[in-house]
C-alpha cells in the first residue's frame, strides 16, 4: 500500500505534542480548580458594553479559555473581569475574533429574548451562589440578545442588564446581575461562589470554557470559583510572547486601595527543553500601577507547544495573609501562537520607483501607505496599516465538500500569522516577499513588485495546504481575497471620492462610504463585464485588476462599505478551492497607484487586455451596423422576414434580432430549440431566412443559456406542443431523474440546486439554473446552435440569453461532467470556445451581458446601459470602444430616468442616450411598407451613420478634452482611428430659451491637431460651420440652435 506523503516535520510536531501531554499533570498547581476574585466596584459603571470606566482597571482579568474537553488554547483570546457592590455583580467580557477584528465576525441571527443565542457568536456565564443550591445560566450574543435559565430550565427569567459593543479586535459584553434576581444575599468579603465563563466561537467553530469541563457547559461540579475580595486590586491577562528563543510572561497590575499590596505571581512553564518554576513579586503602593515580568531563557522551540500554569496572590500590609486572587488550569499553547512581542510601532519597508511607493510593516506584512509622487496622493491605511490578504476556510472533518456561510472561518493575515516580510531588488524592480503561516500548516507566499517604471504593481500569491499529521485538523481553503484592503477611509485618495465598477455597462458610485453599504460582490465573469475597478478621488486613485489569463478562477470584485463607519473594503476575491495536500498559484493581480480619475485606470486595463487577448473580428456587415430591429414576442411568422427586412432597410438597418422563441405565452418554447411551430415549419423558417438574405439582410435568434427546465420532457409532450413537433425531433425523456435533466443544474456550495422561485409561463417548475459545464445541457445546446440554427437554417447570429450570469460560486455538483467544483466564468468561456470551433466562420455569437473574456469567441452583446443604480455606461464604452454593443429598448428603457432626475422619460430619451455614447440602436420590428418607415428613427440612424468612422472604428473618449456646457446640454467626444477627424455628439435637452452655445475642446488632451474644417450634422441635414482657430492646443466652436435634440459636430483635424 502506498504511504501518504506526510512530511517529517509533521511527525516530529505530533510526537512533541504527545510528549507534553503525557507529563502535563506535573505542570499544574496543587489545587487546580480555576479561581478568580471579584474586586469591589471602585467607581461608577455604566452598563453600555464599552468597559471604559476606570473601575474595570481595578479588576482581576481572567483568560485562557480552552476548547471543551482539552486544555488547548483557543485561537483567539477571551478575557473577563468581575466587580461587585452591595447590590449586584458586574461582568465584563472581551471576545477577540479572527485577525481582522469585528468585520470578520460571523453575523448573529437571534434577536428575541430567550432565543437560541448559543447558536450565534456568544458568551455564557454560570453562577452558583450556594454550593448545594441551584446554578443559574446567563447567555448573550454579540447583538446583546439575552437568555437566562436555572440549570437547564430555560423558562426561568430574571431582571438583569446586558449590553455589547464592537471593538477593533472583536466585541465586548458588559452585564449587571442583581443578587436579588438570584435569590442570593449580598456576598461578604471572603465568600466564594461557583462560577464559569464559556464562549461559542462561531468564527473558529469551537466551544470554549475557562474551567476544566469534559462533557458540556452544564457541569456545575466542575465549575471554577468566584471569590469576593475587599481590596480593589486589578491585574491584566497574562501576556505570553517570545524574544528569540526566550519566553516572556507579563502581567500589568493596579492597586486601587488605600494600603500597599504585595502582589505575587507563580508561574510554571514546560516545554520539551525542561520545566521552570518561577515566583515574582511586586509591591503596589496605594493608587498605583506595577507589573510582574518573568523571562524563561531558551525555552521556546518552533516545533513544540508550551504548557503554562499560573496563579496570582496578594498580601495586604493592612491585612496580613496571602489571598489567592487568580488561578487557572494549565494551558497548552501551540508554538506558532507564542509570537514575538508586538512592537510599539510598525517598522516601515518601502518599495518604490520614481512614480510610486508602497510602504509595508515588517512586523505584520500590512500595507501602511500607497503614494503617487506625481499627483501627491499619499493614501494612509491607519496606524497599523491594513491586512492585504484574507482567507475563507472550513474544517475538512466537518465540511469535506459542502459548506454553509456559518461554517466558514475567515482569517486575515497579519502580525499573528507572519513568518517574515523582506525587501528584495532585482532586474524587474523592487519587491516585498511576505510569508504567512495559517494554523494548522497552511503556507502562503506573497510577492508584490514595484517595477522599474510605471504606476502599476504586480501581486502574486502561492498557497500550499499540505497534509496534516491529523486529518481532523486539516482545512479546505475555498476563497482568497488578495490584494484586499479593509477599513479604508473614503478620503484616502483625496476629496470627492468615487468607486467605478464594471457592472453591466458600468457603475460610478459617489460617496462610496454611504452608497456602497451592503453592495454585494461583482462576479467576473458575470455581472462584471471586465476584470478591473477603480477607487479614486481628487489626488488620484487605486486601480485593481484581475490578471488571470487561462484558466480564470471563480472571481469577484469586492467593493463595499461599513454602515456604521463608512469605511471601505476593496479588493479581488478568487476561489482557490485548495483541499489538504493541494497547492494553488493563480495569475498575478495588478494594483496601480495612479494620478487622474477612472479613465487612467481604464487606459491601463485596455492596454493590458489588448496585449493578452486576441478578439474575434466581426464580419463587416456587423462592424458597420448602426443597430437592429427586434421583437421580444411571437408577433410575426417566419414568412414575414422579407417584409420586416424591407422596412428595416428603409430605415438604414439590415439586421433583425428575434427573442420570441422563449418568451411567455401559450405558444412559447421554453428551453426547447425547435423553431416555434406556431410561427411556421422548419422549411418555412429556412426559406424565410434565405429570402431575407437575398435582400441583403441578416438575422439572429436566441435561447436562454442559464435557465433550464427539468420538466422539459413533460412540456414538449403537452398536446398543444406535441401535435406540432415533428416525430423525428429528439425530446428529453419524461423521467427527469433518469435522463439527468435535474442534475444539469448548478449546485451551490451548500449542496442545494440553484433555482429562481418565480412563476414563468411555460416553465412547469420555475427556472433551474443550468450549469455551463453540465455535459448533457451543453451538448444539447451546442448541437442545436451549430448544427441546426447555424448550418441547417443558415441563421447569421445566435444570442445566448442570461449569459454570462453567475451565482457567485462554482458549481459543486460532481455528477454532470466535472469532478471538481467548476468555476462558472471559465466554464462559459470553454463553452464559447466550443461553439466558435464548430460554427461557420462568419457566424456571430452574441449574449445578454457584455464580457471582455468572451470577445475572443463572440462578436457583440447587449449593452444594458441604465439597469443598475448609479449606472455609468461610459465605463465599458471607453475601456473597450471596439466592442459592438446594442442598446435602447431590450429589457426596458424607463430606468434611463436616473440620468434626468425629476423628468418624465419616454423611449426617445433612451435612443438619444444610446446615440450620445455611440452604442448601436435597438428598434421594434415592423412589417409596414418601406414608405411607412418611422421618420424619426430613420433620421437617428442617418445621424449615427455620419459618425460611423469614429463610433464603430475609432475611440470613444468620453468627456476628455471637453469644456463646460450649459445646463441640460450633454456631449461626448469620439476620435477616428487615424486621428484625422473627431466627432462630438450633442444632446440638448433644454426646453425653453434654447440659444446657441459654445463647445470648448482641448485638442492636446484629445490627441489631435488644429481644426481644418467643421460641420454640424442634425436630423434635418448638414451645416458647414466656420473653421475655428486653435490657440495653445485649444479651440472653441459656437453651436447654433438645431432642430430636435440630437446633433453631431464633425471636425477634420491635423494629425
The domain that holds 660 is classified in CATH as: 3.20.20.80
Residue 389 maps to a domain: yes
pLDDT of 822: 97
Confidence of residue 662 (pLDDT cuts 50, 70, 90): low
User: Is the predicted pLDDT of residue 11 greater than 70, yes or no?
Assistant: no
d(CA 627, CA 624): 9
Q: Given 294, 326, 341, which residue is the final one in a domain?
A: 341
Residues 872 and 964 placed together within one structural domain of the fold: no
pLDDT of 913: 97
Residues 223 and 357 placed together within one structural domain of the fold: no
d(CA 687, CA 692): 9
C-alpha grid cell, residue 699: 438575422
Mean pLDDT (the chain, rounded)? 92
Residue 1020 maps to a domain: yes
Residue 85 CA neighbour count, 13 Å, CB half: 14
| Long-range pairs for 640-646: beta carbons < 8 A, 24 or more residues apart | 640/688, 640/927, 641/688, 641/689, 641/691, 641/692, 641/697, 641/699, 642/688, 642/691, 642/692, 642/695, 643/927, 644/692, 644/925, 644/926, 644/927, 645/692, 645/695, 645/696, 645/697, 646/695, 646/929, 646/930
Apex 382 CA angle, 419 and 100, nearest 5:
50
Q: How far apart are the first and last CA of the chain?
A: 75
Residues 486 and 581 placed together within one structural domain of the fold: yes
pLDDT of 163: 98
Weakest mean pLDDT among 38-52, 660-674, 805-819, 1039-1053: 660-674
User: Is the predicted pLDDT of residue 29 greater than 70, yes or no?
Assistant: no
Percentage of residues of the chain with pLDDT beyond 70: 94
CATH number, domain containing residue 294: 2.60.40.2420
pLDDT of 760: 64
d(CA 391, CA 477): 7
Residue 746 maps to a domain: no
User: Is the predicted pLDDT of residue 17 greater than 80, yes or no?
Assistant: no
Most confident segment among 200-204, 245-249, 550-554, 763-767: 550-554
Residues 243 and 210 placed together within one structural domain of the fold: no
Q: What is the arithmetic mean of pLDDT over 282-289?
A: 94
User: Is the predicted pLDDT of residue 464 greater than 50, yes or no?
Assistant: yes
Number of domains making up the chain: 5
Residues 550 and 440 placed together within one structural domain of the fold: yes
Percentage of residues of the chain with pLDDT beyond 90: 79
CATH number, domain containing residue 353: 2.70.98.30
C-alpha grid cell, residue 294: 518573568
d(CA 324, CA 227): 9
Residue 352 maps to a domain: yes
pLDDT of 739: 78
Q: What is the arithmetic mean of pLDDT over 846-872?
A: 95
Q: Given 576, 596, 612, which residue is the final one in a domain?
A: 612
pLDDT of 293: 92
d(CA 11, CA 3): 14
Residues 193 and 275 placed together within one structural domain of the fold: no
User: Is the predicted pLDDT of residue 27 greater than 80, yes or no?
Assistant: no
Residue 834, Cβ density class (10 Å: 0-12 exposed, 13-18 middle, ≥19 buried) = middle
Residues 434 and 577 placed together within one structural domain of the fold: yes
Q: Given 320, 341, 362, which residue is the final one in a domain?
A: 341
d(CA 695, CA 645): 7
pLDDT of 2: 28
pLDDT of 745: 93
Residues 526 and 416 placed together within one structural domain of the fold: yes
Residue 608, Cβ density class (10 Å: 0-12 exposed, 13-18 middle, ≥19 buried) = middle
Most confident segment among 20-29, 89-98, 953-962: 953-962
- The pTM (predicted TM-score) of the whole model is 0.88
Task: Give the residue from 808, 833, 834 showing the smallest Cα distance to 821.
Answer: 808
Residue 747 maps to a domain: no
User: Is the predicted pLDDT of residue 992 greater than 90, yes or no?
Assistant: no
CB 457 within 8 A of CB 592: yes
Q: What is the arithmetic mean of pLDDT over 783-790?
A: 97
User: Is the predicted pLDDT of residue 47 greater than 80, yes or no?
Assistant: yes
User: Is the predicted pLDDT of residue 32 greater than 80, yes or no?
Assistant: no
Q: What is the arithmetic mean of pLDDT over 959-971?
A: 97
pLDDT of 473: 85
CATH number, domain containing residue 1015: 2.60.40.1180
Residues 17 and 136 placed together within one structural domain of the fold: no
pLDDT of 319: 59
Residues 954 and 899 placed together within one structural domain of the fold: no
Sheet holding 367-372, edge to edge: 348-352, 356-361, 367-372, 377-380
Residue 183 maps to a domain: yes
Residue 764 maps to a domain: no
Confidence of residue 733 (pLDDT cuts 50, 70, 90): confident
Residues 295 and 197 placed together within one structural domain of the fold: no
Confidence of residue 831 (pLDDT cuts 50, 70, 90): very high
Confidence of residue 28 (pLDDT cuts 50, 70, 90): very low
d(CA 1051, CA 1036): 12
pLDDT of 23: 37
User: Is the predicted pLDDT of residue 492 greater than 50, yes or no?
Assistant: yes
Report pLDDT digits (tens) over 147-167.
Answer: 999 999 999 999 999 999 988
Of 379 and 244, more confident: 379
pLDDT of 203: 79
Residue 733 CA: distances (Å) to CA of 310, 595, 714:
72, 60, 8
Report pLDDT digits (tens) over 554-597.
Answer: 999 999 999 989 999 999 999 999 999 999 999 999 999 999 99
**Residue 957 is part of which domain span?**
950-1053
C-alpha grid cell, residue 587: 495569475
Of 37 and 759, more confident: 37
CATH number, domain containing residue 122: 2.60.40.1190
pLDDT of 207: 94
pLDDT of 101: 57
User: Is the predicted pLDDT of residue 26 greater than 60, yes or no?
Assistant: no
CB 1008 within 8 A of CB 1055: yes
Of 413 and 98, more confident: 413
pLDDT of 102: 60
Residue 768 maps to a domain: no
C-alpha grid cell, residue 280: 515574582
d(CA 39, CA 231): 7
pLDDT of 732: 85
User: Is the predicted pLDDT of residue 106 greater than 90, yes or no?
Assistant: no
Q: What is the arithmetic mean of pLDDT over 417-432?
A: 96
Report pLDDT digits (tens) over 185-212.
Answer: 999 999 999 999 999 998 778 899 999 9
Of 664 and 1017, more confident: 1017
Residues 319 and 458 placed together within one structural domain of the fold: no
Amino acid at each position: 500500500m502506498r504511504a501518504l506523503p506526510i512530511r517529517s516535520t509533521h511527525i516530529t510536531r505530533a510526537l512533541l505534542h504527545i510528549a507534553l501531554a503525557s507529563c502535563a499533570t506535573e505542570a499544574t498547581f496543587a489545587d487546580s480548580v480555576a479561581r478568580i476574585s471579584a474586586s469591589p466596584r471602585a467607581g461608577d459603571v455604566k452598563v453600555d458594553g464599552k468597559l471604559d470606566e476606570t473601575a474595570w482597571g481595578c479588576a482581576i482579568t481572567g483568560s485562557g479559555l480552552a476548547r471543551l474537553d482539552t486544555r488547548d488554547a483557543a485561537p483567539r483570546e477571551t478575557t473577563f473581569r468581575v466587580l461587585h457592590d452591595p447590590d449586584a455583580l458586574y461582568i465584563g467580557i472581551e471576545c477577540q475574533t479572527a485577525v481582522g477584528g469585528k468585520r470578520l465576525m460571523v453575523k448573529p441571527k437571534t434577536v428575541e429574548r430567550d432565543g437560541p443565542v448559543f447558536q450565534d457568536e456568544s458568551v455564557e456565564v454560570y453562577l452558583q451562589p450556594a454550593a448545594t443550591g441551584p446554578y443559574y445560566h446567563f447567555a448573550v450574543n454579540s447583538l446583546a440578545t439575552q437568555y437566562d435559565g436555572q440549570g437547564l430550565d430555560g423558562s426561568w427569567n430574571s431582571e438583569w442588564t446586558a449590553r455589547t459593543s464592537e471593538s477593533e479586535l472583536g466585541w465586548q459584553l458588559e452585564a449587571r446581575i442583581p443578587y436579588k434576581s438570584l435569590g442570593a444575599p449580598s456576598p461578604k468579603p471572603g465568600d466564594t461562589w461557583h462560577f464559569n465563563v464559556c464562549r461559542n466561537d462561531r468564527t473558529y467553530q469551537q466551544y470554549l470554557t475557562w474551567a476544566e469541563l469534559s462533557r458540556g457547559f452544564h457541569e456545575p461540579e466542575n465549575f471554577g470559583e468566584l471569590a469576593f475580595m475587599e481590596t480593589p486590586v486589578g491585574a491584566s491577562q497574562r501576556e505570553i510572547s517570545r524574544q528569540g528563543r526566550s519566553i516572556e510572561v507579563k502581567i500589568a497590575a493596579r492597586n486601587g486601595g488605600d494600603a500597599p499590596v504585595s502582589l505575587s505571581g507563580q508561574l510554571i512553564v514546560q516545554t520539551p527543553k525542561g520545566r521552570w518554576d518561577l515566583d515574582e513579586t511586586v509591591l503596589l503602593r496605594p493608587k498605583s500601577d506595577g507589573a510582574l515580568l518573568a523571562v524563561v531563557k531558551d525555552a521556546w522551540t518552533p516545533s513544540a507547544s508550551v504548557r503554562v500554569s499560573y496563579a496570582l496572590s496578594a498580601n495586604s500590609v493592612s491585612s496580613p495573609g496571602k489571598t489567592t486572587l487568580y488561578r487557572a488550569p494549565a494551558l497548552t499553547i501551540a508554538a506558532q501562537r507564542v509570537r514575538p512581542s508586538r512592537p510599539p510601532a510598525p517598522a516601515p519597508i518601502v518599495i518604490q520607483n520614481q512614480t510610486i511607493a508602497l510602504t509595508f510593516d515588517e512586523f505584520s506584512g500590512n500595507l501602511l501607505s500607497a503614494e503617487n509622487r506625481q499627483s501627491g496622493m499619499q493614501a494612509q491605511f491607519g496606524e497599523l496599516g491594513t491586512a492585504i490578504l484574507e482567507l475563507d476556510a472550513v474544517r475538512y472533518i466537518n465540511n469535506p465538500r459542502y459548506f454553509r456561510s456559518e461554517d466558514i472561518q475567515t482569517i486575515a493575515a497579519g502580525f499573528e500569522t507572519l513568518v517574515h516580510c523582506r525587501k528584495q531588488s532585482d532586474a524587474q524592480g523592487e519587491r516585498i516577499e511576505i510569508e504567512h503561516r495559517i494554523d494548522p500548516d497552511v503556507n502562503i507566499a506573497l510577492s508584490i513588485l514595484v517595477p522599474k517604471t510605471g504606476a502599476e504593481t504586480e501581486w502574486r500569491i502561492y498557497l500550499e495546504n499540505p497534509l496534516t499529521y491529523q486529518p481532523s485538523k486539516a482545512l479546505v481553503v475555498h476563497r482568497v481575497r488578495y490584494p484586499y484592503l479593509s477599513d479604508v477611509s473614503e478620503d484616502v485618495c483625496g476629496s470627492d471620492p468615487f468607486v467605478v465598477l464594471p457592472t453591466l455597462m458600468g457603475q460610478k458610485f459617489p460617496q462610496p462610504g454611504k452608497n456602497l453599504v451592503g453592495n454585494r460582490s461583482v462576479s467576473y465573469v458575470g455581472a462584471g463585464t471586465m476584470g478591473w475597478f477603480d477607487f479614486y478621488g481628487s489626488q488620484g486613485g487605486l486601480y485593481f485588476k484581475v490578471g488571470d489569463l487561462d484558466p480564470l478562477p471563480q472571481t469577484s470584485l469586492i467593493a463595499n462599505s461599513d454602515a456604521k463607519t463608512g469605511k471601505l473594503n476593496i479588493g479581488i476575491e478568487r476561489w482557490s478551492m485548495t483541499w489538504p495536500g493541494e497547492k494553488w498559484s493563480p495569475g498575478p493581480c495588478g494594483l496601480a497607484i495612479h494620478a487622474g480619475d477612472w479613465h487612467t485606470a481604464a487606459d491601463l486595463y485596455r492596454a493590458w487586455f489588448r496585449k493578452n487577448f486576441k478578439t474575434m473580428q466581426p464580419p463587416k456587415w456587423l462592424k458597420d451596423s448602426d443597430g437592429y430591429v427586434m421583437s421580444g414576442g411571437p408577433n410575426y411568422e417566419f414568412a414575414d422576414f422579407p417584409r420586416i427586412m424591407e422596412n428595416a432597410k428603409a430605415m438604414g438597418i439590415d439586421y433583425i434580432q428575434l427573442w420570441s422563441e422563449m418568451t411567455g405565452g401559450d405558444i412559447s418554447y421554453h428551453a426547447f430549440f425547435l423553431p416555434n411551430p406556431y410561427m411556421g415549419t422548419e422549411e418555412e423558417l429556412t426559406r424565410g431566412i434565405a429570402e431575407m438574405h437575398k435582400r441583403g439582410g441578416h438575422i439572429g435568434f436566441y435561447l436562454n443559456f442559464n435557465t433550464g427546465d427539468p420538466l422539459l420532457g413533460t412540456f414538449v409532450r403537452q398536446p398543444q406542443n406535441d401535435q406540432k413537433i415533428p416525430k423525428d425531433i429528439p425530446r428529453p425523456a419524461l423521467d427527469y431523474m433518469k435522463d439527468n435533466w435535474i442534475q444539469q443544474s448548478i449546485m451551490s456550495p451548500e449542496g442545494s440546486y440553484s433555482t429562481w422561485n418565480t412563476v414563468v409561463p411555460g416553465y412547469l417548475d420555475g427556472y433551474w439554473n443550468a450549469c455551463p459545464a453540465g455535459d448533457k445541457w451543453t451538448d444539447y445546446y451546442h448541437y442545436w446552435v451549430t448544427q441546426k440554427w447555424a448550418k441547417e437554417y443558415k441563421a447569421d447570429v445566435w444570442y445566448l440569453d442570461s449569459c454570462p450570469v453567475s451565482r457567485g460560486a462554482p458549481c459543486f455538483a460532481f455528477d454532470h461532467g466535472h469532478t471538481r467544483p467548476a468555476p462558472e466564468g471559465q466554464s462559459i468561456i470553454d463553452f464559447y470556445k466550443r461553439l466558435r470551433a464548430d460554427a461557420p466562420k462568419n457566424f456571430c455569437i452574441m449574449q445578454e451581458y457584455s464580457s471582455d473574456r468572451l470577445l475572443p469567441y463572440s462578436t457583440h452583446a447587449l449593452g444594458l446601459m441604465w439597469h443598475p443604480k448609479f449606472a455609468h455606461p461610459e465605463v465599458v464604452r471607453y475601456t473597450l470602444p471596439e466592442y459592438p454593443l446594442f442598446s435602447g429598448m431590450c429589457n426596458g428603457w424607463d430606468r434611463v430616468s436616473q440620468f434626468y432626475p425629476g423628468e418624465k422619460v419616454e423611449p426617445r430619451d433612451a435612443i438619444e442616450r444610446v446615440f450620445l455614447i455611440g452604442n448601436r440602436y435597438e428598434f421594434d420590428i415592423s412589417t409596414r411598407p418601406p414608405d411607412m418607415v418611422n421618420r424619426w428613427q430613420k433620421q437617428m440612424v442617418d445621424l449615427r451613420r455620419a459618425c460611423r468612422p469614429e463610433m464603430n472604428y475609432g475611440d470613444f473618449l468620453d468627456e476628455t478634452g471637453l469644456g463646460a456646457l450649459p445646463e441640460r446640454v450633454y456631449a461626448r467626444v469620439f476620435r477616428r482611428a487615424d486621428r484625422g477627424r473627431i466627432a462630438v455628439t450633442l444632446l440638448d435637452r433644454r426646453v425653453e430659451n434654447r440659444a446657441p452655445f459654445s463647445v470648448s475642446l482641448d485638442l492636446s488632451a484629445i490627441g489631435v491637431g488644429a481644426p481644418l474644417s467643421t460641420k454640424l450634422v442634425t436630423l434635418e441635414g448638414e451645416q458647414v460651420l466656420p473653421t475655428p482657430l486653435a490657440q495653445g492646443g485649444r479651440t472653441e466652436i459656437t453651436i447654433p440652435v438645431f432642430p430636435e435634440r440630437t446633433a453631431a459636430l464633425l471636425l477634420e483635424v491635423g494629425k
